[in-house]
Every structure is written in structure tokens, then in C-alpha cells.
Structure 1
Amino acid sequence: MAAAAAFSPWRRTPGRLIMGLALWLGALAAPAMAQPRPVDNPVFTVTNVPVDASAPNPLQAREKAQMEGVKRAFDILVRRLVAAEDIARITPPSDPELESIIKGFEFADERTAPGRYIALLSVVFRPDRISGMLRGAGIPFVDAASPPVLTIPVMRSTAGVVALDEKTPWREAWGNVAKAGGLVPTPLLRADATDLKAINPEQAFVGDMAALSRLAERYGAQRILVSVATGEPDGPFAVSGTVYDFTISDKLTLAPQSGVAIDKLIDAAVRQRTRLEEDWKAVATLSHDIADAVAVVVPLKDLAEWVNIRRRISAAVSVRRVQVQSLEEGRAIVVVNFVGTRAQLDKALEQRGLALVDSGGSLSIVTR
């Protein structure tokens, strides 16, 4: 195969990408052009809601756009946090109630005309108020983002695999998706000199575990998504993806997509990210009005294994505290405090490569 670095047929097509992005934004009402401020909880932040309002004067139009945009942002937030079957159980808040659950908002890309106001609105909601509202209604919800999934966009054609630092339409599409925020952060491979030394395009394409492990160590990533778009420069493309989970030494193959036009690449990336978010919601949607604790035995070979297992237990999304009762040769006895049901705890531990098993009348946490 020809050296990837020598192959660079991809030309930038901003018009096409902008058109695809605009369609995606209209469909999802959650554009991907800005990020929440670092001090704000990204789970409870909704960015870049498009608003377009008319009124007798620009000031009134702006106020109308703000209220309409906040309501749309609240709807987006609810769909992010709760299961689809529970959405109908949520009573839409009144205007005064909306004001009480908002921490702040910001307009961007403002445009005005006589009696009209157009902009993008980002809203930061108060996590405690939203959580209290959902708990009061007895609705399970997600209140924590997934650990980031390092994303490597790869483009490939009959001429070979494109260099990872090339500015391809696929990398640009994923860059916009990564900026959108949400439950599963998907930061892109920086593709700097250190990255390019750790992995080459062909290794990324085939999922070379040694090379991917080097990246996982560098980025502190538990999971890596290799997302591949295969086709000639003008498309259409076949899109595939594989998630490599280094916590449980497993991988997940995402559903393939075929016949993807170049101006629809962002939609394909959104579908892949949506699958990651659905998987996270299945684990992280918790019944917060339920809290419990279990005493468990953790079989151990040595101290290093204990440090690793305790870290994984503590990182499980439903676990709130791990109390060590005793640390003995060959085992640790701990009390695990958690929210949600026992089944939800089982799922959360499974996601960390652990299993809660009944061992002759006592519970044990073991590696899978």
C-alpha cells in the first residue's frame, strides 16, 4: 500500500459541509459551533439553540427569542437526561419556573432586522434545580457525563488511507460534532508529531491494539473510537466505527452506514455519537430517590490489583462512596454506597469490567 502521507486528494468543501451542518442543526435543534464554559456542567448545558423571532421592535424580538429559545433548550435537556418513555411524565415549567432553573444564558451570531432577531442561544441550567425537579417526579435520570471517548476520524479510498493530520471532510464533520457537548465527550485525536509517531493511518484503520494502547495511555482514555469513512473524494461514503474499551478489553462495532453523501457526513457522525450516548444512558440513568449500600468481598492477588479494582468500583456511575472495612491477605471487605437499584449497580459495575456475584451467601466483586 502506498505511504499514507503521500496521498492527499481531499479538498476542502466548506459549502457542502456548511449545508450538511445546517440541516443537522435544524433537525436536532442543537448546533455544534460552540462549547460550554469550562466552569459549567456540560450535562446541564445546552449550546447553540437557533432562535428566530419577530416583534414590533428588535428589543421585543430579542426578549421573545430568549423565552422561546430557553423553552427549546429545556426540551433538549430533558430528552438528554431521561429515557424516552419518561418524557411525557414531565410537566413543562411555567415562565417563572424556567427563570428559577436557569443559571445563565448567552447569545451568539446575533443578526437583527426591523422587527426581527436571529441568533444562537446557549443556556446553562442549574443542576440542583433540575435534579430536584426530576427527583420530585420520581423520574430516573442521568446526572453525569461519560468518560471521554477519544475519537480518530479515518478516511480511506482505493488509493489508500489518508494521513491522520490531513484536514478531511470527515475530520471536519467530527470536529463540529465534538463541539456540541452532551453526555459523551468525543475529543479528537490531535494528530500532532507525538500522535503520528504512536500510530500511523493503516494501524488506526485495522485497529492495531498496540498502537491504540499507546494513544490510550497518552490521553488517559478508557475508550477509543476509530470512525472510518470509505469512498472517493466526492463520495458517497461507507461509514463504519469500532469502539475499543481498554477497561474491559473489549470492542463494540457500530452499525454500518452506506451511501453517505459528502454533505451528510456530519449526520453520520451524529448517528455514531448518538449510539454512544444511548449506551451511556442505559448504564447511567439512575433512580435517584433510591439509595442503598452493600457489603462485599473483593478477592485480591496483590496490592496493585486492589488499587486498580477500587478505582474501577469508585468510577462506576451509580457508586457514591467506597468504605474499606478491612484489607487482608487475599481479600478486601468494603461497603459500597450507591444510588439507584441493584440492577443499575450491576450495569454500572459491568461497564467497568466488574461483576457483583453471590458467593455462597455473601456478595463479591470480581473482574469479568
Structure 2
Amino acid sequence: MHGPYQIGLGFPEQCRQKGAVTLSLPSLRPIHLLFALVLAAFAAVLIAQIEGERGIAPIASNGDFEVRDIKVDVYGPDADTARATGWRLAQRLAWQALWKRTNGGAGHMLADGVLDGLVSGIEVQQEQIGPKRYIATLAVMFDRARAGQALGVSGQVMRSPPLLVIPVMWDGGAATTFEQATEWQKAWAMFRTAESSIDYVRTSGDGPDPLLLNAGQPGRRGRNWWRLLLDLYGAADVIMPIARLEHSWPGGPVTGHFAARYGPDNQLVGSFTLRVNSAAEIPKMMADGVAKVDQLYSQALRAGVLRPDPSLVIEEPLNAVAIDNAGDLDSILSALPSEDGGMAASGGGSYAIQVDTPTATSVGDVQAVLRGLPGVRSAATSSLALGGTSVMQVGFDGPVEQLRAALEARGFSVAVSGSTLRITRRAAAAPASQSPGGGGGQ
């Protein structure tokens, strides 16, 4: 048979085996493989940097008074009654501690019904509940408005500019901020800032925080990069609280070395050391460390050490058109404010009085003295810092020299800087000693 229908070896021509077909892939050079491996490794590093638990979100801190570490150990007919009794006892103990902290000494005890109206919340730090026994460590929060009236404390607390917090923890020779969850970051997140004079800007470590606020950032000095970071987080400057742990042996005593640093230049404010008997007590040591570091920063703020770096402020350029339209130098100088805020020309105005206020009673005493001065229209506390330096605004009809003389006549030492007066009580003069045989006859 001929044609397309001929059959050879029993198979039609259309079904016979064809020639072999070879598929070829484009050749890959070693440099291409190396580049692909580098990209894959870089992507893995980025994912590892961003994913995972980095820390906890900071708690919301309001303006309430807080008293921590109140220990109670009470019994009751059942667990619920024992717990309620323990909480009521904690309110009483916390009120005594708060009164002693603000006024000094033992204050008067309030009724339980009154305390219920002053307490805004109770935080359980640690508790053990038994069938008829309740053991706990509690933190009691008092409403600032209502409790402040009972304590005799009013006015505003002096606050710092917003400061970005980068908590650095050294453990096992490695420094960590937000690369992984640490007890140091958790302690800062749980710290209540209501009674602190520092305005902390705290982050939780989510998103780009581990990349931007890593452990190497405090060592950088470039102002341009710091400006971008501070603008991103809404802060005026940066502080770096550092904790370095030393383990005696696994599970054994732990020594913590703490340091308070601030600013792009990583300047030291102060340092201290704490020690616990076991690794299980590290969270408590971290909480105590945060409280002590906050005290160091607050003291530095009152002393004028903790001030924003002026090199971090982005100043707006001058308007050249406005300067040209000013006409001459005299018109420019007349438009500038005077050093004393324009009050010296008018012979009176508002003055800021800085005075040490160790207790709430001293605040009222100084206000009473100021209001009793001739020419004083008003005197009010604008910034209250118990145990530090408070600021009072005084409306006075007269020049600053007259106000200074009036204060010196009341027994104060006065230092004047523009419209600000720093006053301190003069030390009482020692009585003159009599000469031997004084008062006797010749």
C-alpha cells in the first residue's frame, strides 16, 4: 500500500515514534546565582527584623496619684471576703503613704467611704488567693483632683519637653532595644508617668522601631538623622536609660548596673547598682531601676542639666522680603521684644518667682507672703514641684527692683534675671556670744 495509510510494522505512519526533542534552559552564570542568594538572605533578615514579639505597648498614664508596693495579708470567712478586706486595707495604707510623701509625717485617717470616692483604681502587682486568706502586693491610684484637695496640693507639675526613650539592655554581652522582648523595655512600658516631671515618648517596638531605634543608634552623633527620628516620633530630644545585667551563675544572684544618659552626645546623668538573689526577681529589679532612673532625670531637669539640644531644632529661615520692607535698623530693633518681656518700660507686669518647696505647706506659706506684699495684684502657683523648685506667677504694680526690695525685707535672698526672680530663705543669724564675764561689774 502506498500513501499516508501505509502501515509499517503494524503502526500507521501518524503514530510512529518521532525523533528525540531536547529542551535547553538558558545558561546561568555563577554571578547570577550569587546575586539571587544575596537577595534571598537580605529578605530573610528584613523579615526577621520586623516579625515576632518586640515588646509591649506602654500603659496609658493619667494624672492620678499612685502608691505602689502596698503589701496586705488578711484572713476572712471566704476568699471573696478576704480579698475585699485586703483591698480596703490597702486603700488605708496607701493613703497614709501618700500623705507622708506629699506633706511629711503621719496624716489624719479618712473614713473608708471617703477613700472609696478618692480611689480611682487598684492594680494587682502580685497576689495569692486561698480559701480564707489573701496575700497580695497592690498599687493604689487616687484621683488627682479629689485627692489633691484633701492633701492640700494644687497647681501644675513642672514637665519637661517630650523626650524619646530608647531603653538599652545589655545581657550576655549583647545589647538589645526592640530587637526582641526584654524585661527592661517591659518595665518602661509599665511605668506610670503621672507623677513624673519627664514627658516620656515610649514606643512598643512594632513596625520599623527595631530598625530605627536599635542598640547602635545611641552611638550615632549625626544631627540630621536624629532630627528625622525625633520628628517622626514627635519628640524634642532623646534619653537612653541603660541596664547591664551580670549573672553570678544560671538562676543565681543577678547584679544590675543602671545608667541614665541623654542627648545625641550620649551624656551621662547618673548611675547606680541594684542586686537580687535570683533570676526570678529580675522583673522587680527592673521596675525599681526605672523608678530610680526617673528620679535621676527629674533631678537633672530641676537642676537645669536636662535641656533640649538646640542643634536638634530646625529653625525656619528669615523672611528676606519682610526684612527689606522694615526700612532701616531702628525699625527692626523696635520690633524685637525687650529682655524683660516689655515689662520694664511700663514699670510693672507679671513676674516669675522660683522658690524651693520641700512640702505642700511651704507652697502655701510662700504664696501668703507674696500676696501680702504691697503692690501685688495676684500670686498663683504655675508649676508645682514638691521637693524641688516651684514657679509662681506674681502680678506686681512696679519695677522689678521694687519687688526685689520688698522680698528682701521679708527675709529672702533674691537673684534677678530679667522678669524671673529666684528667692531663698536666709539662714537665721547665730546669736552673738557673750564675752567672758560679760554683764559683770568692773
- Provide TM-score, normalisation by structure 2: 0.46
Residue of 166, 171, 192 corresponding to 2:179: 166
Residue of 324, 338, 342 corresponding to 1:333: 342
Q: 1:17 maps to which residue?
A: none
Residue 195 of structure 2 is aligned to residue 181 of structure 1: no
Contact kept, 8 Å, 2:168 with 2:240, in 1: the verdict is no
Residue 94 of structure 2 is aligned to residue 73 of structure 1: yes
RMSD between superposed Cα atoms in Å: 5.0
How far apart, CA to CA, are the structure 2 residues paired with 1:264 and 1:113? 23
Residue of 226, 243, 247 corresponding to 2:261: 243
Q: 1:273 maps to which residue?
A: 291
Indicate how the Cα distance of structure 1 residues 229 and 187 shifts in structure 2: closer, same or farther if over 3 A, else same: farther
Indicate how the Cα distance of structure 1 residues 65 and 243 shifts in structure 2: closer, same or farther if over 3 A, else same: same
How far apart, CA to CA, are the structure 1 residues paired with 2:141 and 2:245? 38
**Per the alignment, in what secondary structure is the counterpart of residue 270 of structure 1?**
helix
How far apart, CA to CA, are the structure 2 residues paired with 1:112 and 1:238? 32
The code of the aligned residue for 1:254 comes to G
Contact kept, 8 Å, 1:105 with 1:121, in 2: the verdict is yes
How far apart, CA to CA, are the structure 2 residues paired with 1:77 and 1:34? 28
Contact kept, 8 Å, 2:179 with 2:214, in 1: the verdict is no
Indicate how the Cα distance of structure 1 residues 94 and 145 shifts in structure 2: closer, same or farther if over 3 A, else same: farther
> Residues 58-82 of structure 1: CA distance to partner in whole angstroms, max 9, x if unpaired?
3432331121121233245446x52
Bigger relative contact order, structure 1 or 2 (CA pairs below 8 A, ≥6 apart): 1
How far apart, CA to CA, are the structure 1 residues paired with 2:125 and 2:241? 32
Contact kept, 8 Å, 2:73 with 2:134, in 1: the verdict is yes
How far apart, CA to CA, are the structure 1 residues paired with 2:220 and 2:191? 26
How far apart, CA to CA, are the structure 2 residues paired with 1:148 and 1:75? 32
Indicate how the Cα distance of structure 1 residues 97 and 269 shifts in structure 2: closer, same or farther if over 3 A, else same: closer
Alpha-carbon distance, 1:201 to partner: 2.2
The code of the aligned residue for 2:169 comes to M
Indicate how the Cα distance of structure 1 residues 45 and 276 shifts in structure 2: closer, same or farther if over 3 A, else same: closer
- Provide TM-score, normalisation by structure 1: 0.54
From the CA coordinates, give the structure whose radius of gyration is larger.
2
Contact kept, 8 Å, 1:223 with 1:245, in 2: the verdict is yes
Residue of 122, 125, 147 corresponding to 1:130: 147
Residue 58 of structure 2 is aligned to residue 43 of structure 1: no
> Residues 83-126 of structure 1: CA distance to partner in whole angstroms, max 9, x if unpaired?
xxx42153333434423433455779876433234566554423
The code of the aligned residue for 1:172 comes to E
The code of the aligned residue for 2:180 comes to K
Q: 1:358 maps to which residue?
A: 416
Contact kept, 8 Å, 2:165 with 2:240, in 1: the verdict is yes
Residue of 233, 240, 255 corresponding to 1:225: 240
Equivalences for 1:1-368 in 2 at 5 Å?
38=60, 41-46=62-67, 49=70, 51-78=72-99, 82=102, 86-88=103-105, 90-103=107-120, 105=122, 112-118=129-135, 123-135=140-152, 149-156=163-170, 161-167=174-180, 171-182=182-193, 183-184=195-196, 188-204=202-218, 206=219, 208=221, 210=223, 211-221=225-235, 222-229=237-244, 239-244=257-262, 251-257=267-273, 262-263=279-280, 265-266=282-283, 267-268=285-286, 270-277=288-295, 280=298, 328-331=335-338, 332-333=341-342, 342-343=355-356, 347=389, 358=416, 363=419
Unaligned runs of 5+ in 2: 1-44, 49-55, 303-314, 318-333, 344-348, 358-382, 392-413, 422-442
**Per the alignment, in what secondary structure is the counterpart of residue 255 of structure 1?**
strand
